[in-house]
Structures are given as C-alpha cells and as structure tokens.
A and B are shown apart, each in its own frame.
Chain A
C-alpha cells in the first residue's frame, strides 16, 4: 500500500516538472484512498490470477512439484500420527501405572471393600478396584492354564487385591503414593511396576525426537524444492522482471506473483499430503485391525484429525510462501536491469 502512496506523490511530482500532460488529464492522477486501496487489491488479484494461470499452463510440472513437497510433508506428519496411535494403543497412562495392593491373607471381603473405599477417597487416586481372593484365583486359573492343579491345593493361596489407578503419572508422586498405601493397615505389599511404562515413554520420546529431526530435515528439503522451483520461474521471467523494474516496478511488485506461486505450490502440496495420509492410514488400518482382532482387541488406527489436517495445509502454504520469499530475496538483486 505504501508503494502506491509513494507512487501518488511521485506521479504528481512528475506532472509538476514534466508539463507533458494537459491540465485536464492531471485530475485523473490524484487517486483518493479508496482508489489506492482498490488498486492495491487489484494488483494482488492480478498477481494471484497470473500465478494460478502459470501453474495451470504447466500442469504436469506443477503437479510433480506439489507431489514432491507433499511426500516431504506427509512423512513426518504420518510418523507423528502413528506415534499418537501407539500412545493410544498403550492405553491411558493412569491405567499403565496401576498400583497393586496385596492384602494380608486374613483380610476378608468386607474389610477389603472398606479399604478400597478408603483408598478411592484419597486425593491422588483416580479409581480403586477390589479383587477378592476367589476372583483372583479364578482369573489365575484361567490365565495360567494350571486350573486342575490349583484345585488340588488345600486352600486358596492368593490374597485379596485392591487395584489403585493414580490421578497423575509422575514417578516421584507415584512412589510417594505407593509408600503411603503400603503403610495402610491390612496391606501386605504395595507393588508398582513402572519399568515398562518408563521404557514405553522412552521409546515414544525417541520417536518424538526422530519425528522432530525428520521434520526439520524435510522442511529444509521443502524450502530447497520450492526455492529451486521459484528460481527457475524467475529465470524464465528474467526479461519481464527487468522490464518491470525499468518502468518503475518496486521490489514488492516484482516479488508478489512469485510469493503467490510459492503459496499455491504449498496449498497444492498440503492438500495432496492430506490425501496421501488419509488414504495411507486407511490402507494400513485394514492390516492393523486384522492383527488387533487376532489379539481380541478392537484397536484401529485413527485417521487424520481435521485440526491436524488444517494445520498441515496452512503450514504447507506458509512454507511455500517462505521458500518463495527466500528465493526471490536471493535472486532479485541479481536481476537489476542491464
């Protein structure tokens, strides 16, 4: 907008010194704010239309550029979505970090249920479940395959158990809670198995870091791809740029169509990446649900959340714009009129 304002003042200056224009013609060169705004919008519209038409003039080339960018975008995004699914598969963290309170053998069901209620009322506890000695034995018989042998035992060797689901998964807080629960009357042992939780957390953190590193690498690749594509467009329009500069086009005016082009490449890439991810996850999901079914689970991969899809497209547009801006900034100074 400032360019056009300056243009106004300079056009007027030209008329003052030039004297080449009849007095009646001068009036049309005094645009008001609305006219300037319209001119600015018109200039953007023209740049956008020009960029779109240039992309469609080379549909195959444009498509493959978008496709390369889309693959670069969909790889880290796809991995991030898979990691989300793995986290979901691992169950909620609260469930993963349950504390098992093994009660003394002389604790009967009534006292066990009372203890369950006391534990459930504690502030750091989300849920507490009572498993009676009989229920524990029945489950063990089913899971161990030693059902007949266990029937031969003179009495049930298993204690009653209160399963405690903590409010928050924090190693220090969980350890403190376990110590507190172990001190409760009637509790023989309080067991907290955090090792596998820690391992899963470490694996997921590694995965997150890998996705982050890969994202940085592929964003750099994407900027290079868009930068190189825009550089070729600039080379193809070298004469036009030189002429535009000679007849008074500002750097902003020269830059504008290339920025739109970069953003349009980004938009195309974002949409293709979205489609690739949606179809890719759908295709993978068939195998995953079949495998999960064999384990008696109804687990399935979640698709691309609409929020993530929108972020993907907006991010792609921004990356395209930034890549184009960097390319134009680098090459514009080389395109001074000769």
Chain B
C-alpha cells in the first residue's frame, strides 16, 4: 500500500525533514507514527498527501510514484485518501451533513447516493442524529468524529490522521481511537501520527518511531 524507499526531504533552507526513510505498509494495516515535535511525523503525512515532494528516494502509494506525480494528478490521488486533522478543519457555515458530503460532491455523486453514504458514515461515528446541526453546536469530540466521517465517507483506501486526539481528554481520545479501529476492521489502511505514547501503547498496533527525520524504531507498541 505504502512504500518508502530511501525517502529524503530537505527544505530549501537546508533543514532536513526526513533522512533516507525506508519502510512499507501492507494494505489494511493499522499503524502509528510517533516521535517528538520536529521528528518528521507531519512531513511524512504531507509527503503522502502530495503536499510536498520527496527530494530523494522513491515514495509509492498504491503503486503510484509520488515523487513523479503531476500537479493535475494530485486531486485524484487525494480522492483515494481520507485525512483527519487535530483541529478538525470543519466548515462552520455548513451543517454536519454538508461537511461530510463535501468529498462526495467533489466526486460528482448524485444526491440520493450522497444522502445514503453520508448517513452511513455518520452512523459509523454515532452522529446520525446530528446531521442537520452545525459544528459549533457540537462538542470537541463530536466535531472530531464529524471530521472522521468526512474522511471515510468516500471509502478511501488509506486514512491518515495527524494528532487526532491532541485536544481531547483520555476518555474521548480512547473513543476516537475506537472509531479508527472500527474503520480499519472494514479494510481501510490507517496511519496515525501521534505523540501520545500512553494511548498508543494501549492500542498494541505497529508503531514507527521517528527522531530528527530518521526511523529509529519499527515494531508493535508496548
């Protein structure tokens, strides 16, 4: 599903974001990427979303070489990926339904199918009854679940999450992780960047540890 082969990322100011990173992720895997601030977690996610390009090595996502992807191909690559942000990135002038429907509208699905898929996604995160409410009317945990519903509504092959529990208390964080596991059980590959080692340890999934852009650990969290 994901293959990093000696991937490096050096910024124009000379800062090295990633240093010859190599690993691969099987389809349907659930893994964490952890490390301190500045370790390269966000850079790794940005490379997978083609927000940045590697400066060396080869990065393959579903067989597509992201170091050679054209600008015009990027939107279509992103349609294969779901993204969850720490700050949710919800649109506060739209209802929960409209927020979740956004990726489907971009795909050009008809209203009936959009309606069905959105309600299924909201049901999956237990927010079916909040469809017509606005994000501002929801709790932080509920907003994060809306973000997750939007990330999975178009049935992506890969789900990326950047510190998805960063602002949540431990109980809500565990609840959100439970939602990710449910999604993973349906076959979606899930990659979560987090520095919450206690939470990661409880989950007992594969964990990649980064330090100053280098991979220093790859194994099951314990």
Contact = CB atoms under 8 A, between A and B. Distances in A.
B136 to A, nearest CB: 14
Contacts of A14: 62, 79-80, 155-157
A18 B79 contact: no
Interface in B71-101: 72, 75-80, 83, 89, 91
B107 interface: yes
B57 interface: no
B13 interface: no
B38 to A, nearest CB: 17
A250 B79 CA distance: 10
Contact of B186 (A3, A13, A15, A20): A20
Contact of B78 (A13, A20, A21, A247): A247
Contacts of B106: 7, 244, 247-250, 253
Q: Which of A20, A25, A43 has the most CB of B within 10 A?
A: A20
Contacts of B72: 250
A21 B76 contact: no
A133 B165 CA distance: 109
Interface residues of A, number: 41
A7 B186 contact: no
A167 interface: no
Contact of B107 (A9, A11, A15, A336): A11
A130 B108 CA distance: 78
Contacts of B156: 14, 18, 20
B76 A39 contact: no
B108 A18 contact: no
Interface string A1-16: 0011011011101110
A35 interface: yes
Contacts of B91: 239-240, 243
Interface in A247-282: 247-251, 253
B115 interface: no
Contact of A4 (B1, B108, B110, B157): B108
A86 interface: no
A235 to B, nearest CB: 15
Contacts, number: 115
A38 B110 contact: yes
Given A25-B155, A239-B89, A240-B91, A18 B80 contact: yes
B145 interface: no
Summarize A's interface: helix, strand, loop or mixed: helix
A245 B81 CA distance: 12
Nearest to B27: A19
Contacts of B62: 13-14, 17-18
A31 B108 CA distance: 10
Contacts of A251: 75
Chain B interface size range: 35 or more
A127 interface: no
B78 A18 contact: no
Interface string B145-160: 0000010001111100
B188 interface: yes
Interface string B134-146: 0000000000000
Interface in A15-47: 15, 17-21, 25, 28, 31, 35-36, 38-40, 42-43, 46
Q: Which of B79, B89, B154, B186 has the most CB of A within 10 A?
A: B79
B103 A43 contact: no
A337 interface: yes
B107 A46 contact: no
Nearest to A10: B76
B173 interface: no
B110 to A, nearest CB: 7
B109 interface: yes
Nearest to A333: B71
Interface string B104-126: 01111111010000000000000
A43 B72 CA distance: 19
B103 A17 contact: no
B207 to A, nearest CB: 22
Contacts of A15: 155, 157
B78 A248 contact: yes
A117 interface: no
A39 B108 contact: yes
22 contacts: A7-B108, A9-B76, A13-B80, A14-B79, A14-B80, A17-B62, A17-B63, A17-B80, A18-B80, A18-B158, A20-B28, A20-B155, A20-B189, A36-B108, A39-B109, A42-B108, A242-B89, A244-B102, A245-B75, A247-B83, A247-B103, A250-B75
Interface of B: 1, 27-28, 49, 51, 62-63, 72, 75-80, 83, 89, 91, 102-103, 105-111, 113, 150, 154-158, 186-189
Given A39-B108, A43-B108, 19 more contacts: A6-B76, A10-B76, A10-B77, A10-B80, A14-B62, A18-B27, A19-B27, A20-B186, A20-B187, A20-B189, A21-B187, A31-B108, A38-B110, A39-B107, A39-B110, A40-B108, A246-B83, A248-B76, A248-B154
Nearest 10 Cβ contacts at the A-B interface? A18-B157, A39-B108, A248-B79, A14-B80, A10-B76, A17-B62, A20-B188, A248-B78, A20-B187, A247-B103
